[in-house]
Amino acid sequence: MKFYKRNEGSSYYRTSFSIRKAFWALHHARLQDNRSLGKILGDSVERSIKTLLMIGGFIVLFSVITQAMKELYFMDIIASVVASILSTLSMEADLALPFISGIFEITIGAYEMAQIDGSMFQIAILVSLFLAFNGFSVQAQVASILATTDIRFTPYFFARLIHGLFAIILTILLFRPLYQEPSASVSNWQPFDSGELYNMIVPIQQFFIGTTVIILVVYFITILIPNLWKDKD
């Protein structure tokens, strides 16, 4: 969003980076907020839960829409048009239906792409395209969030299209040097081990706890302690 409203006048100006100024701004914002710490934490958790429910609701909505279009054969009609385009580009026509599903909801499209026994190069191109495009489900989520702001959705939409083009180019350039054929003796599916999941979660949890403690310590050192000395003087 660097170039958003670049032609409009702005009262903001760029200043030098300063952690102390950032914490001072945080401190003054906290003082201007009349809510208690418990109320602030409660409101933040409540907004987070609402956002998660909104995201999950959009995923379910577009999953239902995609399945309904398949049941009504609308998806087959669209897929036939896309298949003809893919055939013109010397790509497999069987990738059309999963690609359309990915345009609507990226998780469904990625799952269906994984079930096709086709050219991994072509699959990587199409998957990178709808992942960069984000799918209509993610774009609807962004639109609902931007609806309460003065940020326009159109620049984001065109940025996703450009991102998709870049994703295709990068996939074409990097696929051959980076991709390795899977060994036939090794299965892609491994039994689930809850211990591995625990080993992944614990370091992440420790990282966030440590980061929070460091931020609080720096906040007390740079803001509260100088204020206490000023009050004594």
Return the structure tokens found at 146: 């931007």
- Kindly state whether residues 133 and 216 are assigned to the same domain: no
| Full domain range(s) for residue 203 | 195-233
Q: Are residues 57 and 130 in the same domain?
A: yes
- Cα separation, 122 vs 120, whole angstroms: 6
pTM attached to this predicted model: 0.64
Residue 180 confidence class, pLDDT cut points 50, 70, 90 = low
Q: Are 143 and 221 within one domain?
A: no
Q: Are residues 61 and 146 in the same domain?
A: yes
Whether the predicted pLDDT of 172 surpasses 50: yes
Q: Specify if 141 maps to a domain.
A: yes
- Identify whether 105 is part of a domain: yes
Looking at the predicted structure, is the pLDDT value of residue 66 above 60?
yes
Q: Which residues of 57-68 are buried (b: 16+ CB within 10 A; e: fewer)?
A: ebbeebbeebee
- In this predicted structure, what is the pLDDT of residue 188? 47
Domain boundary pick from 131, 150, 177: 177
Residue 112 has pLDDT above 80, yes or no: yes
Say whether both 98 and 158 belong to one domain: yes
Distance CA 101, CA 113 (A): 9
Given a contact cutoff of 8 angstroms between Cβ atoms, the answer to whether 22 and 215 are in contact is no
Mean pLDDT of 104-124: 88
H or E element in which residue 161 lies: helix 154-178
Same domain, 118 and 159: yes
Q: Does 38 reside within a domain?
A: no
Structural domain total, the chain: 2
What are all long-range contacts of 208-215, with beta carbons under 8 Å and residues at least 24 apart?
A: none
Tens of pLDDT, residues 18-39? 777 877 887 777 778 777 767 7
* Residues 59, 171 share a domain: yes
Average pLDDT over residues 134-155: 89
Q: Is the pLDDT of residue 152 over 80?
A: yes
80 is written with which tokens?
A: 């036939």
Q: In the structure encoding, which two tokens stand for residue 164, read together?
A: 């998709």
pLDDT at residue number 208: 65
Give the separation between CA 78 and CA 66, rounded to whole angstroms.
12
Is residue 26 included in any domain, yes or no? no
